[in-house]
Chains A and B, each alone.
Chain A
Amino acid sequence: MALMRITSPHAHGPMSTSRVMQNVLLATIPGVIVLTHFFGFGTLVNILFGSVVALACEALALTLRKRPLGFYLGDYSALVTAVLLGIALPPYSPWWLICVGIASAILMAKHLYGGLGYNPFNPAMVGYVVLLISFPVQMTAWAPPRGAGELPSLLQALQACFLPASFDGVTMATPLDVMKQNSSLLVEDLWSQSPQFGRWAGLGWEWANLAFLAGGAWLLYQRIFTWHAPVAMLAALALMAAIFYDGGSSASGGSPLFHLLSGATMFGAFFIVTDPVSSAVSVRGRLVYGALIGLLIYIIRVRGNYPDAVAFAVLIMNFAAPFIDQYTQPRTYGHSASKEDT
């Protein structure tokens, strides 16, 4: 009788990479709903069209690399990249912008480096930054939120995407932009004079951030990732904002709550910073990695040229991740704490 011979362990847990990716996709749903509610169908169109382009790019790359399509497309990683980039792009982006962004993310940032697991940089953020540097006008044109302007209909949203020349959209500076440009008004006055602001932060933005926080919390509960990197990032950002809040003067960088609920803070903390491939690996390493991203986000938001900074901060720390790993190796069982890591 021929018996099967394989080595231990024979048992395997229920987790799989595609399930991890599916969970991430599911966790974005509350945020996408809130974004759609406040900014119209633009984000949804971004995501859906982006997903199609992403799958096509992934299939193309896999074919060129002579990999089985079904097995690799089934890991959902391309969809995750598309959804994350779709959320990050301004609503009502033209089709070519989405195509360039997705192609940069999937072909350049992911497959040129060897595909899933081998990319040193977060693909969605690479796509985002390529667009931000190449097409700054389109990338900073955010639609006004519900309550501050008219929302385009679904048809108009499709028109904006596929017939951009015939779409005449209204845009409005984001709250982070307003805060950055402000040099004369007290924060309190700025709040009352600008329609972009809501209760704690930007109108609509605060709810979108809370929705992404909820999605992230669910992922934490599902043990998809650990709390270390996102919490370290949020804590560092809040700490920086608190230190430089300045009591709300005209030179203030904004309150901690404003920063936590503005722009891509929560989305970045739970969906970008937690990307395991491009982050540091150990628990201590992820604390350092997250905290430094939080620090960079604040510095770039307040002192840099761009109103939001998650993408740049994440990419810079992607560079630093192997270095952090070098110095944050955990103490192995039976080794003394003073062991040199070098």
Chain B
Amino acid sequence: MSKVHTFHGGIHPPENKLQSVRTPIADAGVPAELVIPLSQHIGAPSGSVVEPGQRVLKGQVIAQPGGFVSVPQHAPTSGTIAAVEDRQIAHPSGYSAPCIVIASDGKDEWVDHSGSPDYESLDIGELLNRIRNAGIAGMGGAGFPSAVKLSVPPGTEIETLVINGTECEPYITADDILMRERAQQIIEGAKILRHLIAPGETLIGVEDNKPEGLAALRAAADGSGIEIVEFPTKYPSGGEKQLIEILTGKQVPSGGLPSQVGVVCMNIGSTVAIRDAVIEGRPLISRITTVTGEGVSEPQNFEVLIGTSIAYLLDKAGYQPSQASRLIMGGPMMGFTVPSPDVPIVKTTNCLLAPSAAELPMPPPAQACIRCGMCAEACPASLLPQQLFWFAQGKEFEKSEQHNLFDCIECGACSYVCPSNIPLVQYYRASKAEVLQMRRDQEKSEHSRVRFEARQERLAQEEAEKEAKRAARKKAAEEKARKAAESGGGEEDPIQAAIDRAKAKKAAQTEGGGETNELEKLEKAVTTTRKRLETAQGKLETAQAEGSDLVDALQTGVDKTKAKLEGAEKALHDYQQAATPAAEKSEEEKPANSAAQAAIEKAMAARAAETDLSPQEKARKQLEKLQQRLAKSEARLAEGKASGEEDKIIEALESTVTRLQDKVAQAQAQLGEAEVS
């Protein structure tokens, strides 16, 4: 008999187990419709391999694993696939997820299947494959794919195989009844597991509140070398980490796996499912579910097909909706309320609890935390729940993490004992979600930072490369010049060369032939424009006097001429500024210019907003460009059509032409507008 250890904390809620073990396991039968969610386990959802209308046989694969950490799904009975669609599933959030709906034909006809009672002759890999192909995921509640759990990393020595028959949650008796009625199968399953992972010892841990189950197991295990360990009842002994500590005294490292301390832990229900898969070739298509609570008149355990609706099962147990205050899937400590009685039973549904309002009353309003510490005494993870609550309220998530928030297993012991009725677990769930979100955000921003820095680096590198090339070119040019100088003028004095260059420049300036011409041209332009402006203004005045229709047009003409004059004046002015010697020559013209200058400035003020190009000109240019492009596109389209291009290309060309035509029309409209104004 191995020594039994204990773990910190724990509580003793009323067990309420007796009412559901009075009768043997009942067969729930085959309902008319079965809804099999594609995600009933931890890991990737399975992928449906059936089509609506297809006939399937009992045990036939209807969905394949969606990844390594995943399982296949099987048809729980024979029938036709009615649909593959989203249905509401049993999940705390009550959301809908893809499900395969089977309309059963009532024949319950099996697909061809065969087991291997001589499993010891099988290869370990083959054995694991069979477990995986049977769709077995942890049946205690979490639903972790069993084959993955049993694939111990190579080189890991497993000292202890733990079969978990604790069933510490109140009300649930699915494992208890399994031990009472199918102890032999449990032992056979344990032997298969022992063969698989070759542990030093194999222990089946059971709380001492199941004497009948213990006796049956002991009788079945006699002489097998499998040890049945009985230990005091305390919630949550059935938590994997807690059970490992009870049976081995070892603690699984935070964030680690049991195999790190040489332990593999398997639920007793999963053990039987593995036995059925290996020895009988029967996939996981049914399970034992406890239906209990004061809301049902005949609380008992059912062997129920996966996918059976809760309503169907409750009916079998004499459900009285008026009695029940809520429906809980799982136990009163860690179970969750289901959104509607139509959701299906899944592989992890160990219990359906329909409590009356008196049985599990509504939580009263929370009072202030008086830091009494009862939660810390009850916490099986040795946390300080009152401090975590404090940090959760203040959103001090760093402190929450420092106080090991993520080691909380959400067993609910703290909330159970809290005299102030504070929903502690809810606070921790919220904190965890916030922290995870913060981590994700941080990861994201870290990612962006790295990307930004990489970009900066790349740009700097490119710049440096360019700079280096530039420097190289410069150097090469200098080298070339030097070589040329060496080979040509021999020992020419660079200072003399510079002096020569300066002299040449000066000579050119004094000569200034071309420049004078330029100046004259500009002056002429100014004069002509001014004359034209005067004429136009004269005409405008006449028109205004006569009240002619042409006033507007003439006004535009005057304005335009003014703008032109302004341009010409500006060019002249700029030129004079740039060529100072030339400015001296035009000295005498200045007085003559001054009157014009004043007019020009006036025009400048009047037309300050007007750009160099009038909108009309702009629009015209735009139109011309577009028309050119349109012509080109049309030519290409014609060419494409002629040479029998693919339809797609023709289509693309056509759409381009249409688009350009639209644009041309638009540009024409704009031009029209500009001309009118």
Contacts and interface: CB of A to CB of B under 8 A. Distances in A.
Nearest to B409: A333
Given A11-B170, A226-B377, A334-B254, A4 B241 contact: no
B384 A9 contact: no
Interface stretch (B199-207, B334-342, B597-605): B334-342
Contact of B338 (A3, A279, A282, A335): A3
Interface stretch (B98-106, B110-118, B416-424, B461-469): B416-424
Given A1-B321, A116-B370, A334-B254, A281 B13 contact: no
A229 to B, nearest CB: 10
A116 B416 contact: no
Contacts of B372: 20, 224-225, 276
A10 interface: yes
A75 B420 CA distance: 10
Contacts of A329: 384, 403
A6 B419 contact: no
Given A5-B339, A224-B372, 12 more contacts: A6-B363, A8-B330, A10-B360, A11-B333, A12-B421, A13-B416, A15-B419, A277-B371, A332-B383, A334-B252, A334-B381, A335-B254
A153 interface: no
Interface string B402-423: 0110010011100111111101
Contact of A19 (B326, B334, B417, B419): B419
A154 to B, nearest CB: 35
A322 B302 CA distance: 53
B328 A10 contact: yes
A331 interface: yes
Contacts of B429: 7
Contacts of A276: 370-373
A149 interface: no
Contacts of A1: 321, 340-341
B376 interface: yes
28 contacts: A1-B321, A3-B339, A6-B337, A9-B411, A9-B425, A10-B333, A10-B337, A10-B360, A11-B13, A11-B332, A12-B361, A12-B415, A13-B13, A16-B419, A17-B367, A17-B420, A116-B370, A118-B368, A224-B372, A226-B377, A281-B371, A282-B373, A330-B376, A330-B384, A334-B253, A334-B255, A334-B256, A335-B407
Contacts of B325: 4
A20 to B, nearest CB: 5
B382 interface: yes
B481 to A, nearest CB: 69
Contact of A281 (B256, B326, B387): B387
Given A1-B341, A15-B374, A333 B426 contact: no
Nearest to B365: A71
B318 interface: no
Contacts of B338: 3
A7 B253 contact: no
A329 B410 CA distance: 20
A225 B374 CA distance: 8
A16 B321 CA distance: 30
Interface of B: 7-8, 11, 13-14, 92, 94, 170, 241, 245, 251-256, 321, 325-328, 330, 332-341, 353, 355, 360-363, 365, 367-374, 376-377, 380-384, 386-387, 403-404, 407, 410-412, 415-421, 423, 425-426, 429
A9 B410 CA distance: 9
Contacts of B403: 329
B94 A5 contact: yes
Contacts of A5: 94, 326, 337, 339
Contacts of B353: 10
A161 to B, nearest CB: 31
Contact of A334 (B241, B339, B360, B365): B241
Contacts of A330: 376, 382-384
Contacts of A308: none
Interface of A: 1, 3-13, 15-17, 19-20, 71, 75, 77, 115-118, 223-226, 276-277, 279, 281-283, 286, 325, 329-335
Nearest to B407: A332
A7 B380 contact: no
A333 B7 contact: yes
A191 B580 CA distance: 121
A333 B251 contact: yes
Contacts of B252: 334
Contacts of A8: 330, 332-336, 410, 412, 425
Contact of B370 (A12, A20, A334): A20
A295 B370 CA distance: 26
- Which 7 pairs show the lowest CB-CB distances between chains A and B? A9-B412, A117-B368, A334-B254, A11-B332, A4-B326, A332-B404, A333-B381
A77 B370 CA distance: 10
Contacts of A117: 367-371, 420
A288 B71 CA distance: 53
B168 to A, nearest CB: 13
Contacts of B170: 11
Contacts of A279: 371
Contacts of A71: 365, 367
A333 B326 contact: no
> Which one of A8, A16, A20, A115 has the highest number of Cβ atoms from chain B below 10 Å of its Cβ?
A8
A131 B531 CA distance: 107
A325 B370 CA distance: 16
Contacts of B8: 333
Contacts of B386: 281
B326 A331 contact: no
Nearest to B13: A11
> Which one of B245, B372, B377, B410 has the highest number of Cβ atoms from chain A below 10 Å of its Cβ?
B372
> Which one of A12, A276, A282, A330 has the highest number of Cβ atoms from chain B below 10 Å of its Cβ?
A12
Contact of A226 (B253, B373, B411): B373
A286 to B, nearest CB: 8
Contacts of A19: 419
Nearest to B385: A281
Nearest to B256: A334
B419 A9 contact: no
Contacts of A333: 7-8, 241, 245, 251, 254, 380-382, 407
B377 A17 contact: no
Contacts of A4: 325-326, 337, 362
A20 B404 contact: no
A286 B384 CA distance: 13
Contact of B332 (A10, A17, A334): A10
Nearest to B377: A226
Nearest to A328: B384
A291 to B, nearest CB: 17
A330 to B, nearest CB: 5
A327 B304 CA distance: 52
B429 to A, nearest CB: 7
A219 B13 CA distance: 21
Given A3-B326, A10-B332, A20 B419 contact: yes
